[in-house]
Structure 1
């Protein structure tokens, strides 16, 4: 029952946080602000797992949940200070129409489809990363835990890099959408190296590159959701989260259908990452066409 309550609460908090960051930062630094938020999110994942294990080892498994309870309660006053009085926005629409509004914006609709393919590769393959490393290098449970540090470090670096590059491109009058294709290409390369790279060190380098691409992509997608249709920031962010989970389930099922986990990584992980890269490039091309005046017109 507790998990059934905590799960929806955590899922609802994410879109609200990203929408709040987008709403309260200027266009000039929005990418960096979202990148910092994603970097701190990744740090929480990296620090939380070993800290929870330490608490469980010292004081029993329930202590980790009590620590989460105390930490969350302490954060509530800080959250309340961040959220000011709500102002009326826009024209009221029907509930279903409002939920589906993001799919009627061409750039957001295409971005959501790219998001599904990217995370089918990204998190779908990640579901089997432990099995892959055990199969290839016979790593211990402790060693797999250290791999999680690389995952977090890559995500932090990619989040900060994606936000900074996106802001620079927009400041120069360019769109940051081409970066979505770049992150897809880097993801495909990272997954392929993790699956087939010669030696453990090379494979770990591939995993780090993999999650640099993941952090950069998620940051740029959230920035896109906050700028393409400002009135739909929360809804768009929620759909990004929903399509991320849908892609994860699809990708995990597809990789699991292979008896050879390395083959599944290459076929599903790298294959869908390349598809997401192509989708990102087409999305960028459509965005450029939308803002480029026809020949002969100023």
Structure 2
């Protein structure tokens, strides 16, 4: 495994910790800064909203710069944000620290996925992306318990000091271990795919990538797949305690089981996508739909719930490496498309959580978000299936001896 991939995974681990760790610290932060639980909650939602916007804005602003220095700079920004959170004398400074840290999130994973792909042969591209995202999935497993443990022993500020230290190590690792050539901006993109003289960082190439129907279909499938999973995940604690009968102290280890599923699904999905990407994506979304439905039906069974929450993580993250390589391939490697994929996932997360909350508010019970999530993922499955069929048809038409090129250029992009 290239050392540069390990360095990128370490960066992803630190950024993932920043996103997830706050959930276990909210009560302490709320008391320490003398703010309400609702205000403290904005440290989570404000982060997510900043990721959604920053993934596009920061990626567009840095598109013409060499990617390795940008990645190092993003991790430095991450360090500054967490340092602000660690020393925050009041709530506004704490929120500012969260926003600053979030600005690096989407662009880091977007650009990082492009750099990771260049460190391995083309046939291992999705697996390389999966390795980079392994840091994020591991942080999902460790984030809440890590934050709770450190915060309980040494206070919530110590958690952010620890994450700041991880960021410093990650920045040094990326600067040292990621080869500069892997972060160079390609000129001309893939042969025959970008107009002569056009660079993948130019404004023309950035915008023209979004003329592809396949790019939009992949972004839609990403948003719906993430949205369905997150709509269910957001209320799992209530499902476990109010339906399954677990105690509130059991929720932490149950979420670790879910996180272990994310890790397994991420690696399996990367390997599968390198073998047959569209089939892997369709199977992942179909598996997630079936799992969420089964979870809703069997939520009263503790044993079934443990198995199904693991499978939710497996199928929920198995599509991530393939979705990223798919959207960047159809966008000819432009960074803005990679950033848009991260934005799409965060928009989906917000949509899924909102719809799941509406279902509970309507009195449909704490299993309702599971069925709502299944419905959202089913829409994503339909979009992905349509995209795969459309692409297969375009390839057949393009390879036909009676046709020199596909009549639907958008579908083949």
Compute the TM-score of the two structures, normalised by the length of structure 1.
Answer: 0.89
Q: Aligned pair in 2 of structure 1 residues 179, 214: CA closer, same or farther (>3 Å)?
A: same
- 1:6 equivalent in structure 2: 101
Instruction: For 1:184 and 1:279, locate their aligned partners in 2 and report how far apart those are by CA, in whole Å.
Output: 10
- How many corresponding residue pairs? 291
Instruction: For 1:28 and 1:203, locate their aligned partners in 2 and report how far apart those are by CA, in whole Å.
Output: 37
Aligned runs of 1:116-127 on 2, under 5 Å? 116-127=223-234
- Residue 203 in structure 1 maps to residue 301 in structure 2: no
- 1:172 equivalent in structure 2: none
Worse-superposed segment, 42-51 or 79-88: 79-88
Question: SS where residue 257 of structure 1 aligns?
Answer: helix
Instruction: For 1:76 and 1:262, locate their aligned partners in 2 and report how far apart those are by CA, in whole Å.
Output: 42
Query: In the alignment, is the contact (CA less than 8 A) between 2:288 and 2:312 conserved in 1?
Result: yes
Query: In the alignment, is the contact (CA less than 8 A) between 1:118 and 1:184 conserved in 2?
Result: yes
Question: SS where residue 123 of structure 2 aligns?
Answer: coil
Query: In the alignment, is the contact (CA less than 8 A) between 1:132 and 1:262 conserved in 2?
Result: yes
- Residue 111 in structure 1 maps to residue 218 in structure 2: yes
Aligned runs of 1:167-178 on 2, under 5 Å? 167-169=274-276, 176-178=277-279
Q: Aligned pair in 2 of structure 1 residues 129, 32: CA closer, same or farther (>3 Å)?
A: same
Question: SS where residue 260 of structure 1 aligns?
Answer: coil
Query: In the alignment, is the contact (CA less than 8 A) between 1:154 and 1:211 conserved in 2?
Result: yes
Aligned runs of 1:35-46 on 2, under 5 Å? 35-46=130-141
Question: SS where residue 227 of structure 1 aligns?
Answer: helix
- Residue 67 in structure 1 maps to residue 67 in structure 2: no
Q: Deviations over 1:208-257 (max 9, x none)?
A: 1111111211111012134333332x222211111111111111111111
Instruction: For 2:205 and 2:275, locate their aligned partners in 1 and report how far apart those are by CA, in whole Å.
Output: 32
Query: In the alignment, is the contact (CA less than 8 A) between 1:254 and 1:264 conserved in 2?
Result: no
Aligned runs of 1:121-270 on 2, under 5 Å? 121-169=228-276, 176-197=277-298, 198-232=300-334, 234-258=335-359, 259-262=363-366, 264-270=368-374
Q: Aligned pair in 2 of structure 1 residues 295, 242: CA closer, same or farther (>3 Å)?
A: closer
Deviation at residue 103 of structure 1 after TM alignment:
2.4
**Which structure has the greater CA radius of gyration?**
2
- 1:297 equivalent in structure 2: 401
RMSD value over aligned CA atoms?
A: 2.4
Q: Aligned pair in 2 of structure 1 residues 241, 94: CA closer, same or farther (>3 Å)?
A: closer
Q: Aligned pair in 2 of structure 1 residues 96, 264: CA closer, same or farther (>3 Å)?
A: farther
Compute the TM-score of the two structures, normalised by the length of structure 2.
Answer: 0.65
- Residue 287 in structure 1 maps to residue 391 in structure 2: yes
Deviation at residue 274 of structure 1 after TM alignment:
1.3
Instruction: For 2:101 and 2:376, locate their aligned partners in 1 and report how far apart those are by CA, in whole Å.
Output: 31
Q: Which has the higher contact order (CA 8 A, sep 6+)?
A: 1
Which ranges of structure 2 fall in alignment gaps of 5 or more residues?
1-95, 189-197, 403-413
Instruction: For 2:203 and 2:185, locate their aligned partners in 1 and report how far apart those are by CA, in whole Å.
Output: 22
Which ranges of structure 1 fall in alignment gaps of 5 or more residues?
170-175
Q: Deviations over 1:42-61 (max 9, x none)?
A: 11221232222211122111
Q: Aligned pair in 2 of structure 1 residues 94, 44: CA closer, same or farther (>3 Å)?
A: closer
- 2:125 equivalent in structure 1: 30
Deviation at residue 273 of structure 1 after TM alignment:
1.3
Q: Aligned pair in 2 of structure 1 residues 219, 261: CA closer, same or farther (>3 Å)?
A: farther
